[in-house]
Structure 1
Amino acid sequence: MAAGRRSARNKGPRAVYNEDPFVSAGISDESSSERPEKSSKKKARKWEDHGSDEEFVAGPEPDVVDDEGENEDEGDEDIEEEDDMDEEDDDAMDVDEIASTPKSKSKSKRAPASKLRKQTTAQKAQTAQESIAPLTSSGAESHHRGMLDSRDQVSKFMHYTLTYGSDDRDLGLTIHMRGRWRWGRDATYPTRLSLEQTHGESDSPCGPTLGVTPEDVEKERKEGWAWYYDEEIGEKFRKRQRVDKKLKEAEARRKYLPQPKKNTHTVLLGPANDQQAFELGYHEAMDVSQAWEEQQSEGSDQAKTKLHQGWLINIGQKIQCMAWAPNQDDLPQYLALAVPVTEDQTKKYMNPEGEPLSSFIPSPPYPAAIQLWEFMGKKAGYQTNTIDMDVEPHLRLVLCTEWGHLRQMAWCPMGRERRGQVDNDLIDIGLLAGVWGDGKVRVLDIKLQKGSKKLQIVRVTSPAFEAIMPSTICTTVAWLSPSDIAVGCANGFVALWSILPSSSPDPYLYHPIHTSYVLNITSGYPTYPHLVSTISVDGETRMWSIIDPIGENTNTVRVRLSSSQLSYSPVLQAFCSSDENEYGRLMPIRRFFATNASGRLNSTVSALAPCSFWHPSLLFGGTGGEVMATNPMRRIMYGKEPQWQQMWFIHHWVPGPDDNSPGVSRFHEGFRAENPGVVKSGEGRPMGLSLTTIHDEDTHVTALGWNPNRSCAGWGSAALGCGLLRVEDLTV
Structure 2
Amino acid sequence: MPARRSARATGPRIVYTEDPFQSAGISDGSDGEARTPKVKGKRARKDDSASDEEFVAVSNEEVDDAMEDDEQEGETAGNDDEVSGDGDDMEIDEIGGNAKRAATSHPRFRKRHRDGTVAMAADQTHSRGIFDPKEHVSKSMHYTLAFGPDERDMIAAIYVRDRWTRGLDSTFPSRSSLEQAWEGPDYRYGPNFGVDPDDVQTERTRGWNWYYDRDLGERFRKRQRIETIKETEARRVYLPPKKENHTVLLGPVDNQQPFPLAHHESLDFGEAWGERKTRDPRDEETHKIREGWILNLGHRVLCKAWAPHQDGLTQYLAAVTPITDEQKKDYIPPEGESSSFQPSQPYPSALQLWEFKGKKSGTYTNTLDMNTKPKLRLVLCSDWGDIRRIAWCPVAREKRDEDEEEAEKTIGLLAGVWGDGKLRVLDIKVRRGSEETEFVKVHSPVFEAKPPSTVCTCIAWLSPSDIAVGCGNGFVAIWSIVPSSEPNPHPYFYYPVHESFVLNIASAYPAHPHLITTISMDGETRLWSIIDPRSDSVSTVRMRLASPHLSYSPMLQSFCANDENDFARVLPVRRFFTSNTIGKLPSSISTLAPCSFWHPFIMYGGTGGEVMATNPLRRLLYPKEQLCQQMWFTHDWSQGPVGSSGVSRFHEGYQAEKQSLARNLVGENRPVSVTITTIYDEGTHVTALAWNPNRPCAAWASAALGCGLVRVEDLAM
Interval containing the TM-score (normalised by the shorter chain): 0.7 to 0.9
1:522 corresponds to: 506
1:338 aligned to 320, 328, 335, which one? 320
For the Cα contact (< 8 Å) 2:244–2:643, is it kept in 1? no
Give the counterpart of 2:153 among 160, 163, 170. Answer: 170
Are 1:719 and 2:704 an aligned pair?
A: yes
Residue 385 in 1 paired to residue 369 in 2?
no
Could you say if the C-alpha distance between residues 237 and 584 of structure 1 is closer, same or farther in structure 2, counting changes exceeding 3 Å?
same
1:661 to 632, 644, 668: 644
Give, as a single letter, the amino acid of the residue that structure 1 aligns with 2:365. Answer: T
1:145 and 1:231 map into 2 onto residues whose CA distance is: 56
Please say if 1:476 is aligned against 2:461.
Answer: no
Code of the aligned partner of 2:578: A
Counterpart secondary structure, 1:173: helix
**Distance (whole Å) between structure 1 residues aligned to residue 467 and residue 224 of structure 2:** 18
Matched position secondary structure for 2:518: strand
Q: How does 1:64-83 map to 2 (within 5 A)?
A: 79-82=47-50
Given candidates 566, 570, 574, the residue that maps to 2:554 is 570
Pick from 216, 224, 245: which aligns with 1:241?
A: 224
Corresponding residue SS for 2:158: helix
Change (3 A) 1:299 1:729: closer
Partner of 2:691: 706
Task: Kindly provide the amino acid, as one letter, of the partner of residue 389 in structure 1.
Answer: M
- Secondary structure at the aligned position of 2:159 is classed as helix
Match of 2:350 among 339, 361, 369: 369
Structure 2 residue aligned with 1:544: 528
Aligned CA distance change for structure 1 residues 681 and 250 (closer, same or farther; 3 Å): farther
Q: 1:255 to 1:186 in 2, by over 3 A?
A: same
CA distance in 2, matches of 1:545, 1:619: 27
Give the Å deviation of 1:198.
Answer: 5.0
Match of 1:182 among 165, 185, 189: 165
Contact persistence 1:377–1:387 (CA under 8 A):
yes
Relative to structure 1, is the Cα distance of residues 285 and 202 closer, same or farther in structure 2, using a 3 angstrom cutoff? closer
**Partner residue, 2:497:** 513
Instruction: Decide whether aligned partners of structure 1 residues 570 and 385 sit closer, same or farther in structure 2, where only a CA change above 3 A counts.
Output: same
Work out which of the residue numbers 238, 254, 258 in structure 1 matches 2:236. 254
User: 1:89 offset after TM fit, Å?
Assistant: 7.6
Aligned residue number for residue 296 of structure 1:
277
Which residue matches 1:465?
A: 447
Partner of 2:253: 272
Letter in 1 for 2:195: V
State the match for 2:476 in structure 1.
Answer: 494
- Per-residue CA deviation, residues 140-161 of structure 1 (Å, 9 max, x unaligned), is xx98672111001211110000
1:676 Cα offset (Å): 2.0
* Contact 1:276–1:291, Cα closer than 8 Å, also in 2: yes
- Secondary structure at the aligned position of 1:349 is classed as coil
- For each residue in 1:16-74, what CA deviation from the matched residue of structure 2 results, as whole angstroms up to 9, or x when unmatched? xxxxxxxxxxxxxxxxxxxxxxxxxxxxxxxxxxxxxxxxxxxxxxxxxxxxxxxxxxx
Give the C-alpha shift of residue 203 in structure 1.
3.8
Q: Which residue of 2 aligns with 1:59?
A: none
Cα distance in 2 for partners of 1:404, 1:145 equals 51
- Kept in 1, the 8 Å contact 2:56–2:103? The answer is no
CA positional deviation for 1:725: 0.3
CA shift for structure 1 position 600: 1.2
State whether structure 2 residue 577 is matched by structure 1 residue 596: no
Out of 360, 385, 400, the position equivalent to 2:381 is 400
> How far apart, in 1, do the equivalents of 2:365 and 2:150 lie?
32
Letter in 1 for 2:214: E
1:99 aligned residue: none
How far did residue 297 of structure 1 move? 5.6
> Is the 8 Å Cα contact of residues 82 and 113 (structure 1) preserved in structure 2?
no
Shift of 1:451: 1.2
One-letter amino acid matched to 2:430: L
Match of 1:729 in 2: 714
Task: Report the Cα distance in structure 1 between the residues aligned to 2:51 and 2:289, rounded to whole angstroms.
Answer: 86
- Confirm whether residue 583 of structure 1 aligns to residue 551 of structure 2: no
Aligned position for 1:67:
none
User: Separation in 2 of the partners of 1:466 and 1:218?
Assistant: 29
Code of the aligned partner of 1:290: E
Deviation at 1:332, TM superposition (A): 0.4
Instruction: Please list the CA deviations of residues 324-376 of structure 1 after superposition, one character each: whole Å capped at 9, or x if unmatched.
Output: 0001011100000111001111111110135x421111000000000000000
- Which of 585, 588, 592 is residue 608 of structure 1 equivalent to? 592
Displacement after TM superposition at 1:680 (Å): 5.9
CA contact (8 A) 1:85 1:113 kept: no
Whole-angstrom distance in 1 between the partners of 2:567 and 2:108: 46
Query: Paired residues, what number?
Result: 630
Q: Rate the CA distance shift 1:710–1:200 in 2: closer, same or farther, 3 A.
A: closer
Corresponding residue SS for 1:237: helix
1:431-458 Cα offsets, whole Å, 9 max, x none, are: 0000000000000000001111110011
> Which one-letter code corresponds to 2:558 in the other structure?
A
1:618, 1:559 → 2: CA distance?
21
1:210 to 193, 206, 223: 193
CA distance in 2, matches of 1:567, 1:499: 23
Inter-CA distance 405–201: structure 2 relative to 1 (3 Å threshold):
closer
What amino acid maps onto 2:167 in structure 1? Answer: G
Moved more, 682-691 or 286-295: 682-691
1:287–1:309 contact (8 Å) kept in structure 2: yes
| CA distance in structure 1 between the aligned counterparts of 2:395 and 2:622, rounded to whole angstroms | 32
Partners of 2:597 and 2:279 in 1: CA distance = 36
Q: Residues 469-505 of structure 1: CA distance to partner in whole angstroms, max 9, x if unpaired?
A: 1211000001000000000000000000000111341
CA contact (8 A) 2:602 2:615 kept: yes
Q: Deviations over 1:296-343 (max 9, x none)?
A: 268978554202200000000000000000010111000001110011
What pairs up with 1:25-424 in 2 under 5 angstroms? Answer: 79-82=47-50, 86-88=54-56, 113-122=98-107, 146-198=129-181, 202-245=185-228, 247-260=229-242, 262-296=243-277, 304-353=286-335, 356-422=337-403, 424=406
How far apart are the structure 2 equivalents of 1:460 and 1:80?
88
Query: Distance between the aligned counterparts of 1:532 and 1:85, measured in 2?
Result: 48
- SS of the aligned residue for 2:401 comes to coil
C-alpha contact (below 8 Å) 1:439/1:474 kept by paired residues: yes
* Letter matched to residue 443 of structure 1: V
Structure 2: runs of 5+ lacking an equivalent:
1-7, 12-44, 59-93, 112-117
Residues 501 and 81 (structure 1 numbering): CA distance in 2 closer, same or farther, change over 3 Å?
same
Q: Are the equivalent residues in 2 in contact too, given 1:317–1:721 (CA < 8 A)?
A: yes
**Residue type of the alignment partner of 2:48:** E
Between the aligned partners of 2:52 and 2:348, the Cα distance in structure 1 is: 87
How large is the RMSD of aligned CA atoms in angstroms? 2.8
Residues 585-621 of structure 1, C-alpha deviations (whole Å, 9 max, x = no match)? 0000100011001111110111100000000011100
CA apart distance, 1:407:
0.3
> Percent identity, aligned pairs only?
55
Counterpart secondary structure, 1:551: coil
Query: Partner of 1:722: helix, strand, or coil?
Result: coil
Q: Contact 1:475/1:490 (CA < 8 Å) preserved in 2? A: yes
